[in-house]
Structure 1
């Protein structure tokens, strides 16, 4: 008769088989807010990190929207994968839905994720809803920089959001050249505005 594992070890194996992965590409990378037992650098193909979501509250207003991150179709995105214990599935998914989907500007999707150690896993990710009124589309760097430079919401200036995001990414050894290009153009806009104020004084 073949040996069958039982008892505590079997329970541990069963729970591990129900573990799932979450992909973080923005603030989830450095402030996940949920329990996890493993973190691995990972790349998601088919989506890119982008300032493609208009912010009506935290970094802008309905009359003067700011921009925040979303996963938009095209390219690839380097981020962090979190393995969540299977026993906490309901709790963690409920938390993520409350955090990411309060206004339905993101879709919840299960997508193949390439981990840095060679594994390929299915991961939960939140991608931009292109049919939502707050979807900004594929803005060029100049247009995005102009919006960020001039917007402010309940959580402060949109400038701070972009600057903090880039700094956190760099701290985690993740470079996003597209975001950094927007930041460079934003600082050029602010410098011109500052010089213009000096000349008009």
Structure 2
């Protein structure tokens, strides 16, 4: 079941007087950059891990047969590598529509490769949203991804592009790579 968060996200933050905001991407926002940005940099956030625990009823699956996409799960001591984009606040209108199936914007501290940190936003679909599928064995997740498809394409394309993008970033994500191994 989907949960449209578009309007909720648009009311969640006030960007009056703000020229730009950092956005952290850890899933398709790493490799499918179909939005304007002012700057792009590798970054990481601490205390979170990437997991294929969110259902995709609108992009990589359908309401009757959801695909699986990544969200972030809190885990003390963990870190999640991705890409930070400095964007104009009006870009969120497009991104809120793209990330509408259960994802809410949260503030986070971004750590950049040069040691600097800055505040930014991240989309997270937590366990309280209706599209949350939760944990499963990586082999079962791979089987679901292998047969899922939606308006944005086959679910396996999402997984494979994400795995390639993480390798390009120099990230070793055991969860993503285990699912990729089962899929192949």
Question: Normalised by the shorter chain, which TM-score bucket?
Answer: 0.7 to 0.9
Q: Which residue of 2 aligns with 1:139?
A: 136
Q: Which residue of 2 aligns with 1:98?
A: 97
Answer yes or no: is 1:54 the counterpart of 2:55.
Answer: yes
Answer yes or no: is 1:116 the counterpart of 2:113.
Answer: yes
Q: Which residue of 2 aligns with 1:11?
A: none
Q: Which residue of 2 aligns with 1:30?
A: 31
Q: Which residue of 1 aligns with 2:79?
A: 76
Distance in 2 between residues matched to 1:141 and 1:112, nearest whole Å: 29
Identify unmatched segments of 5+ residues in structure 2.
1-17
TM-score by length of 2: 0.78
- Helix, strand or coil for the counterpart of 1:63? coil
- What aligned pairs does 1:165-180 form with structure 2 within 5 A after superposition? 165-180=162-177
Q: Does the C-alpha gap of structure 1 residues 31 and 61 become closer, same or farther in structure 2, counting only changes over 3 Å?
A: closer
- Helix, strand or coil for the counterpart of 1:61? coil
Distance in 1 between residues matched to 2:151 and 2:38, nearest whole Å: 34
Higher Cα Rg: structure 1 or 2? 1
- Helix, strand or coil for the counterpart of 2:70? strand
Distance in 2 between residues matched to 1:169 and 1:127, nearest whole Å: 19
Q: Does the C-alpha gap of structure 1 residues 36 and 135 become closer, same or farther in structure 2, counting only changes over 3 Å?
A: same
Report the alpha carbon displacement of residue 18 of structure 1 after superposing the two structures with TM: 4.8
Identify unmatched segments of 5+ residues in structure 1.
1-16, 188-201
Q: Give the RMSD, CA atoms, in angstroms.
A: 2.1
Contact kept? 2:42, 2:169, Cα under 8 Å: no
Structure with more helix by fraction: 1
TM-score by length of 1: 0.72
- Helix, strand or coil for the counterpart of 1:109? strand
Distance in 2 between residues matched to 1:99 and 1:51, nearest whole Å: 17
- Helix, strand or coil for the counterpart of 1:131? coil
Distance in 1 between residues matched to 2:20 and 2:58, nearest whole Å: 35
CA offsets per residue over residues 156-192 of structure 1, 9 Å max, x none? 33222212221233234333221110111223xxxxx
Q: Does the C-alpha gap of structure 1 residues 143 and 174 become closer, same or farther in structure 2, counting only changes over 3 Å?
A: same
User: Relative contact order: is structure 1 or structure 2 higher (C-alpha 8 Å, sep ≥ 6)?
Assistant: 2
